Structure 1
Amino acid sequence: MQSSSQLTSVRTHNIFHSEHQPLDAIFSPKTIAVIGASEREDSVGRTLLWNLISNPFGGTVFPVNPKRNSILGIKAYPNIAAVPESIDLAVIATPAATVSSVINECVNAGVKGAIVLSAGFKEIGSSGVELERQILEQVNQSQMRLIGPNCLGVMNPYTGLNATFASSMARPGKVGFISQSGALCTAILDWSFQENVGFSSFISIGSMLDVGWGDLIYYLGDDPNTESIVIYMESIGDARSFLSAAREVALSKPIIVIKAGRTEAAAQAAASHTGALAGSDAVFDAALRRCGVLRVNRISELFDMAEVLAKQPRPKGKRLTIITNAGGPGVLATDALISDGGELAQLSPQTHDALNQLLPPSGNHSNPIDLLGDADSTRYVKTLEITAKDPNTDGLLVILTPQAMTNPTQTANLLSSYAKTGKPVLASWMGEQNVKAGAEILNQASIPTFSYPDTAARVFNYMWRYSYNLRGLYETPVLANQGAEVCERILVETIIQKARQAGRTLLTEVESKQILAAYGIPTVETRLATTVEEAIQQASEIGYPVVLKLYSYTITHKTDVGGVHLNLCCGDAVREAYNTVQTSVTSKVGASHFGGVTIQPMVDLKNSYELILGSSIDSQFGPVLLFGTGGQLVEVFEDRALALPPLNTTLARRMMEQTRIYKALQGVRGRTSVDLEALEQLLVRFSQLVVEQPWIKEIDINPLLAKPGNKNSLIALDGRIVLHNLDIKQEQLPLPAIRPYPVQYISAWTMRNGKEVTIRPIRPEDEPLMIQFHQTLSEESVYFRYFHLIKLSQRIAHERLTRLCFIDYDREIALVADYKNPETEQHEILGVGRLSKLHGKKEAEFGILVSDYCQCQGLGTELLKQLLQVSKNENLTGIHADILADNVGMQRVCQKLGFRITPSSETSVIKAEILLTSERD
């Protein structure tokens, strides 16, 4: 009889190197056709062909040119169909107008990959755009992948592939380089020879008509020769694909980006404060923070950071200790450190005592530590040893200037043994010939050296910022209070649709506050009055003093037309304010723009903070969130942080931390802190509103009032919501760049024993529940899931579970069976089904694991059924998994659901696979 655990245990594994990846045809081809090959001097076709045949890549090259029988002594063919072998890669260097027909011939010939070097496409206008459309239409109807057009080509230095028209072949190395500029590629290539920098891949991506950033990041992430990925970017392309790939790969390999267009001006015409504040480059920064990618400002920093992150550990914080034998360089490093957000480490009393015993009295024993000009090698080494142990130190910078008593080479020799202190160690050996040998010793020992100390300090700032971003991917958030219930979502959608049906894109303040309240965001009591008498009555019922505001279907900023009156203390004051607002609006913009007024209680702003919370649409990344200092001078202070929705509590706190007002919110000058946890929860609910209501174009809460020391201290005093234009269709609405929580995959289900569970996608907040889940598994269940035993301590390690819980729903879907125990009122996870899409394919692997005491209750079968439906909804062409040959029960479940069972290359393993007809949501 089969063990029950066998029925619900399936293993998945990364099969990237055991099965063909589509981009292999481009980076590791065995046969290449050069279409447009030529013997004409200085032509692209000749240079390309020569590069391929003069750098053996282990394959065969076939020139294609209808006008030549041979080129460079190699037999040529009139077209791709005439080539006698199947072609992995076609490199196309023909005029733009001919490329569409060439691609058609390649598709018909079964070519697997193509690189289009030709220019003359969208960069020349509408005619080029139409040519790209024709090419993409053909590519989408085939299995072929295409890089370009308008690119330099690609190199694989490890195989010798040089499918470019560059003048030289890159050296082999550990850096995967991708550039959107072909001209920059050639400049970087020249520079790399001088600096002895090598590459695992050297890629010019061009216009990204088909293969984009996401495809290449995934490919290099799987490539064993690539240790870091360096990118020169001009445009983001498919933002969701880029962020999804970058977030996954950045956890194991550094991704460093430099982007042109940092100074691009934000759009000036915006209906909300948020729209005016959220510039596109700042949004790009927010996007990179969200996925753990490091952005640098200079081309040299791209490779500096690739080297540093490969050689030294990431710092845990921003506190740097500086050791120097000259005061001036130490001050320069300090200025560079602090001006860009870093901090000098405050050395502990124990460290000070040890330094006092070691160093001459006349030196500075505080940070930066001045060893004086007569410092010998021993003084350097002992100081580094002492400060490296200081718990307040996150990193160390050692500065040496060549002086009479200093031996740069001997000092470097002694310091080289401290390359692995557990904290990053950087060095600045200042000078030329006198320090050259010492600098080389340090570099060889994996201690990066820099000619100038301020450069080293900036590098450290990049390091801690990169570490900070990555740490956000690992931190376990607190489960947020839920946003709107189903009935409240219907109310919100009704408000929005009524406004659209009335021809309005601007919601009134009352409507806006109703929507905020539906998502659990507290709002100040607001009553509508359309006559003077009604306004006086509402004011007396609320209680004086009150605020009177213009109520209008068309006017966005009420203060522009004198539409806000504060601190009204009696009926006569309300009457006067009402008449003043009506007269002002009528005279300035017309009576039709006056719809009455709203009456609110006058809220005491004393000892409170005015915040702003908003969202607007970025042309590349879709909805963007903004948080910061609010009030009337919000555009003047410009104290704000941006983030991409959706948020969890960890991401919400990170967003708050980036603002200057955050320090005040924590409590300053005797004030207590505001309720930061409640503010986190409010930000999370607001982000849920943004992703669940795509008809909203811009939304402001300004001010959002925060009172210190009060559990009910958060209240929205004003709300403004702008909808998308009426001529926009639902399928044209901008999507969030990061896929939100897929609520469509939540369902109720009853087990055979009567237990009612909710099957839903996993959440980052589920880490504690997953720890409990793994404690319910027997060794047998673990073995049948993973094909080997894994200790409980390893299975519940934080770094492992965060990867399993904090997933990218665009790349992976994990369904959990969530059971609320009626006795303890606590939630439990009883089973997990996971679907992981394969890189470069529309296929996925699946895995199932069920708690021992819940097996034989149909849960494993139900999870697999739902994964099948998810696969269809996600437009996958097939899913598969490996099952132990002894696991007959699981094989039967798969067969019952339509899977085909076949032997695999491992005798003890059976493969279960199914082809799907995809369905769209």
Structure 2
Amino acid sequence: MSADESKGPGLVPNLVVLQSRRQPLDAIFAPRTIAVVGATEQAESVGKTMLENLLGNPFGRTIFPVNPHRAEVLGVKAYARLADVPEPIDLAIVATPAAVVPEVIGDCASAGVRGAIVVSAGFKEVGAEGAELERRVLEQARRGRVRLIGPNCLGVMRPFNGLNATFARRMALPGGVGFLSQSGALCDAILDWSLRENVGFSAFVSVGSMIDVGWGDLIDYLGDDPHTQCIVIYMESIGDARAFLSAAREVALTKPIIVLKAGRSEEAARAAASHTGAVTGNNDVLDAAFRRCGVLRVDTLAEMFAVAEILSKQPRPRGPRLAIVTNAGGPGVLATDALLKAGGELAHFSNETMATLDACLPPPWSRGNPIDVLGDASAERYTQAVEAAVQDRATDGLLVILTPQALSEPTRTAESLKAFARVEGKPVLASWMGGADVAAGVEILNRAGIPTFVYPDTAARVFHAMWRSTYNLRALYETPTSTDDSHDTALARAAAEAVGAAVRGEGRTILTELESKRLLDAYAIPTVETRFAHDEAEAVEVANALGYPVALKLASETITHKSAGGGVRLDLPDADAVRHAFAEIATAVRERAGAGLGAFQGVTVQPMIRRNGFELIVGSSLDPQFGPVLLFGSGGRHVEVLHDWSLALPPLNTTLARRMMEPTRAYAALKASQGRDLIDSAQLEQLLVRFSRLVVEQPWIKEIDINPLLASREGFLALDARVIAHGPEVREGQWPRLAIRPYPTQYAVPWTAPDGTALLIRPIRPEDEPSFIQFHERLSEQSVSFRYFHAMKLGRRVAHDRLTRICFNDYDREMALVADYQDPATGAREILGVSRLMKQHGRNEAEFALLVVDRFQGRGLGTELLRRLVQVGRDEGLDQINADILPQNRPMLLLCKRLGFSLVQKPGDDVVRAILDLRGSVKAPARP
């Protein structure tokens, strides 16, 4: 059967995207006809400047001024209304007063205009009245499917096709950087800087208020754009977080995305109910979000463009180890300090490299890294040292520093370095320090593609930023270990939901300790045995049964921090101590200001745990932009003081769990003690994955933390847990949305073949990569040819880089269903088939693909997989599903026809297009 289980036009020749079909944003970036609504000859006006810019760079486009009061503008015939323009309009530029913009966009919708840029100001930035105008503008745009940039923006430049749809006075140079900015004023400054520094752009976009076209749309468009080599963003707000993360994750693997996000110094938002809420802030969450999608965050404008330049010229480093070659000790030390402070590493050379350096350098050389070639170093000495350093396997990148001294040769040395402009997997940077003496050398290096820096410490920091980008991207596509699913996940989910339903049914938001631990037990997170006692006598009875010493804690439905105000008593050695502690807790709570009904219901009793180990915290709280955010770090009573934590967005797999823990001192301590105390970090990864699933599957939870989570050689144990539920004002179904769509369990359903073979058809998982190697090994040449339209060797089909892209699905963009078979005799699992929907950028359509292993073809599996894929398309609200199929692949053509697809083959085409129109289908409710 014809099929695919991959993505990307380069790998999917039987699912070719028709290049003749224009993307919706082409109306903005590549318009053939443009109307300027508000065009005028008034001096220094936006309408005049916009029209002048367009007329000055027509590039074959037709420009139509629209002004009801003039017969012509700047010598060009004008029209009173858009409806009067005699040709269909691709792009409308709106430069009218804000009050009339809704009417103008309504005219665009009626006239079939597909794109609009609203440069007008006076919207939500001026208050409620302006926000209402924005709502009406968006309403009109959606009525006519008009894609809109703005309002309150500078506009759009596309240097390669001469489009200057801005009111900036000069045109940007063509180049490989796609620049997106929320600040129009910053756009002006960057444009001036770029013209001085000869920096070119593939697109230059001022996004304004982003009421329609947002970051995700623009990243997708530039990701497909052949002129764009990297994307640079100045961001003030995230907008649609899920759309941004989804687009960035897909594009960042092939095109670097660098973000300068304003607001690091803002006061972080604080939540009062849990430790997790108290220690997380908006800035930390943004860092976690950017790591999750492979985006590189920088701190300054200079660093933003420096990183962009390097990533467009040099390869990403494979590791953090930098080799430094310098003719002066001081600059080498400066670079070293900057590198280590940023978190990078110096390369440690092998004995062979040290012998080579000894042979080519004078005896006084530094005999280490940085390699000090001394102040009288010739170009030849530099070349020999650089060659030795770059060939060492321990080197991941190279920084060459030159300071002009009496015997130095900056120009000749630069010429000699041209041979190292492209070293596979190892970026080469240079710092030629000085002014006129080194200017010629700097020019030589830049032309050769070796980025240069005035200061070596800047270069070292930029190298480490490049490595951070690589490291974050690896996490996205590193095959995780399989998650422990030994417990019944359906039962776990049901048990946890029952706890939430009971609490919310009573109108409460705070779970008792017993309820909180019941919640953790449902997801196989070990908890210390805990029992409830209403009064002193019952507390003594429970303590006697558990064994001394014990701990007593306040049981309350209204007080979340039990330790504050005397709600906890530890190390109680006997019954008298228990009676005394019970009375103290009861008295303290009753005297506590504001303690009301439900504040004291009794106590919980649990044994004191005598283990040598580490106190950790694991938690989740809500971010207003990204929804639930996970936390891991050092726990205990001083969690806020220790300030040792890391954040991540759910859902997690084992790789992401490990990456979440790695920045913390707590994890370093765990790893250091692993061999001695046998603390199992892999077990902790699994625990975090289960905790992540709890947060994902129980959206009624507003905040939760386990503090402390005791880690010891005996395992992991939750000693205390605190859970806050959403209040009654948040109704079921209105829970905050996850920033990353979780595993779509609703599409996992058993199926039995006509011959009785039982399968589970479910969405694909990253852990499926090893199974796909076996899957490809069992395909015939004919199946491979139908799939690729030509033969493809097994080694290429099962390459790790390719299979990770196949198995790591962004379920918002792609949905692959696999037929999972488990041999009842051996328990071995096997994938027998796969079907996939791949959404097309900018259109509410998807291409489908289908492949069944040869030995299971003709047994109904292909029909079932495609039938379910069609239902997924309906559930996801798609308008159309399509695919290109070889004419000789008759089984696939017959299957499509049987399921209602139209089959179309245009004269001269060597493929048949199968199309299924889903418009009118019932759409599913909003996704979680």
- The bucket for the TM-score relative to the shorter chain is over 0.9
More moved, 10-19 vs 538-547: 10-19
What residue number does 2:858 align with?
856
Deviation, structure 1 residue 414? 0.8
| Residue in structure 1 matched with residue 9 of structure 2 by the alignment | none
Secondary structure at the residue paired with 2:324?
Answer: strand
Post-superposition shift, 1:884?
Answer: 0.6
Greater shift, 15-24 or 424-433, is seen at: 15-24
Tell me, which stretches of 5 or more residues in structure 2 are unaligned?
6-11
Which of 520, 545, 549 is equivalent to 1:545?
A: 549
State yes or no: 1:501 paired with 2:505: yes
Change (3 A) 1:259 1:49: same
How far is the alpha carbon of 1:906 from its aligned partner?
5.0
Report whether the alignment pairs 1:287 with 2:293.
no
Q: Distance in 2 between matches of 1:11 and 1:882?
A: 9
Q: Secondary structure at the match of 2:677?
A: coil
Q: Which moved more, 1:370-379 or 1:66-75?
A: 370-379
Moved more, 594-603 or 135-144: 135-144
Which residue identity lines up with residue 530 of structure 1 in the other structure? H
Shift of 1:474: 2.1
In 1, Cα distance between equivalents of 2:914 and 2:857: 21
Q: For 2:763 and 2:906, how far apart are their aligned partners in 1?
A: 30
2:451 aligned residue: 448
Matches of 1:672 and 1:317, distance apart in 2: 30
Task: Determine if contact 1:882/1:909 at 8 Å carries over to the other structure.
Answer: yes
Partner of 1:604 in structure 2?
610
Provide the C-alpha distance between the structure 1 equivalents of 2:605 and 2:636, rounded to a whole number of angstroms. 19
Residues 666, 672 of structure 1: 8 Å contact kept: no
Residues 149 and 207 of structure 1 are in contact (CA less than 8 Å); yes or no, is this contact kept in structure 2? yes
The amino acid that maps onto 2:551 is: V
1:425-440 matches, cutoff 5 A: 425-440=428-443
Please list, as runs of the form range in 1=range in 2, the aligned pairs for 1:817-856 lying within 5 A after superposition.
Answer: 817-856=819-858
Q: Which residue of 2 aligns with 1:183?
A: 185
CA distance in 2, matches of 1:434, 1:110: 60
**Identity over the aligned pairs, expressed in percent?**
60
- Equivalent of 1:528 in 529, 532, 547: 532
The structure 1 residue matched to 2:257, chosen from 218, 236, 255, is 255
Match of 1:689 among 694, 697, 714: 694
Distance 2:760 2:202 in 1: 46
Does the Cα contact within 8 Å between 1:703 and 1:717 map onto a contact in 2?
yes
CA distance in 1, matches of 2:386, 2:104: 63
Cα offsets for 1:572-628 (capped at 9, x unmatched): 11111111100111111446311110111101243x000000000001001100001
* 1:32 corresponding residue in structure 2: 34
Are the equivalent residues in 2 in contact too, given 1:217–1:249 (CA < 8 A)?
A: yes
| Residue 632 of structure 2 corresponds to residue 627 of structure 1 | yes
The correspondence of residues 147-186 of structure 1 with structure 2, limited to 5 A, is 147-186=149-188
Q: CA deviation at 1:7?
A: 9.4
User: CA distance change for structure 1 residues 858 and 183 in 2, over 3 Å: closer, same or farther?
Assistant: same
2:564 to 537, 560, 563: 560
Q: Secondary structure at the match of 1:730?
A: coil
Name the residue aligned to 2:467: 464
Cα distance in 1 between the residues matched to 2:59 and 2:542: 82
Give the 3-state SS of the residue equivalent to 1:335 in structure 2.
Answer: helix
Check conservation: 1:7, 1:893, Cα contact below 8 A: no
What's 1:578 paired with? Answer: 582
1:130 alignment partner in structure 2: 132
Q: Counterparts of 1:381 and 1:120 in 2: how far apart (Å)?
A: 60
Q: SS of the residue aligned with 2:339?
A: helix
1:476 to 476, 479, 488: 479
Residue 748 of structure 1 is matched in structure 2 by: 750
How big is the shift at 1:666? Answer: 0.8
* CA distance in structure 2 between the partners assigned to 1:266 and 1:73 by the alignment: 55
Is the Cα–Cα contact under 8 Å of residues 764 and 807 in structure 2 kept in the other structure?
yes
Query: How far apart are residue 900 of structure 1 and its match?
Result: 0.6
Deviation at 1:302? Answer: 1.6
The C-alpha deviation readout for 1:123-170, integer Å capped at 9, x for no partner, is 111111111111111222222211111111101111111111011111
Q: Is the 8 A contact 1:12 1:846 kept in 2?
A: no
CA distance in 2, matches of 1:904, 1:230: 41
2:733 aligned counterpart, secondary structure: helix
CA distance in 2, matches of 1:695, 1:160: 52
Q: Which residue of 1 aligns with 2:492?
A: 488
Judge conservation of contact 1:58–1:159 (CA < 8 Å) in 2.
no
**331 and 103 in structure 1: CA distance in 2 versus 1, 3 angstrom threshold:** same
Shift of 1:479: 1.0
Q: Which residue of 2 aligns with 1:903?
A: 905
- How far off its partner does 1:34 sit? 0.3
The answer to whether the 8 A contact 2:149-2:211 is kept is yes
Distance 2:264 2:668 in 1: 28
Partner-residue secondary structure (3-state), 1:252: coil
Quick one: distance in 1 between partners of 2:171 and 2:883?
41
SS of the residue corresponding to residue 161 of structure 2 reads coil
Counterpart position of 1:275 = 277
**Aligned amino acid, residue 458 of structure 2:** T
Question: What letter matches 1:911 in structure 2?
Answer: R
Change (3 A) 1:591 1:70: closer
The C-alpha deviation readout for 1:77-97, integer Å capped at 9, x for no partner, is 000000001100000000111
2:107 — aligned with what? 105
User: Aligned residue for 1:52?
Assistant: 54
CA contact (8 A) 1:614 1:626 kept: yes
Matched residues, number: 913
Deviations 1:857-896 (A, max 9, x none): 1111111101110001101001100011122221111111
How far did 1:485 drift? 2.2
- CA-CA distance at 1:16 after TM superposition: 6.2
Q: TM-score, normalised by structure 1?
A: 0.98
Q: Deviation at 1:356?
A: 2.0
1:172 positional shift = 0.7
Secondary structure of the equivalent of 1:450? coil
* Counterpart residue number, 1:221: 223
Residue 638, structure 1, aligned to residue 643, structure 2: yes
Counterpart residue number, 1:519: 523
Post-superposition offset of 1:487 = 2.3
Q: Deviations over 1:3-52 (max 9, x none)?
A: xx469999653516331210001111110000000000000000000000
Note if contact 1:243-1:287 (Cα within 8 Å) is conserved in structure 2: yes
CA distance in 2, matches of 1:201, 1:306: 14
Correspondence for 2:679: 674
Contact 1:8 1:860 in 2 (8 A): no
Aligned pairs (5 A) from 1:83-98: 83-98=85-100
Q: Quote how far apart the aligned CAs of 1:393 are.
A: 1.6
What CA distance in whole angstroms lies between the structure 1 residues aligned with 2:640 and 2:283?
Answer: 17
Measured after TM superposition, the shift of residue 484 of structure 1 is 5.6
CA–CA separation in structure 1 for the residues paired with 2:27 and 2:206: 16
Name the amino acid aligned to 2:357.
L
Shift of 1:501: 1.5
Structure 1, residues 32-75: CA drift from partner, whole Å, max 9, x if none? 00000000000000000000000123210000000111000000
Q: For residues 106 and 591 of structure 1, what CA distance do their matches in structure 2 show?
A: 60
Q: Equivalent residue of 1:885, what SS?
A: coil
Amino acid paired to 2:452: T
- Cα RMSD, aligned residues only: 1.4
**Which residue identity is paired with 1:879?**
I
Q: Structure 1 8/201 Cα, relative in aligned 2: closer, same or farther at 3 Å?
A: closer
Q: Partner of 1:839: helix, strand, or coil?
A: coil
Match for residue 812 of structure 1?
814
Contact kept? 1:11, 1:883, Cα under 8 Å: no
Asked if structure 2 preserves the Cα contact closer than 8 Å seen for 1:322 and 1:396, the reply is yes
Higher deviation after alignment, 585-594 or 425-434: 585-594
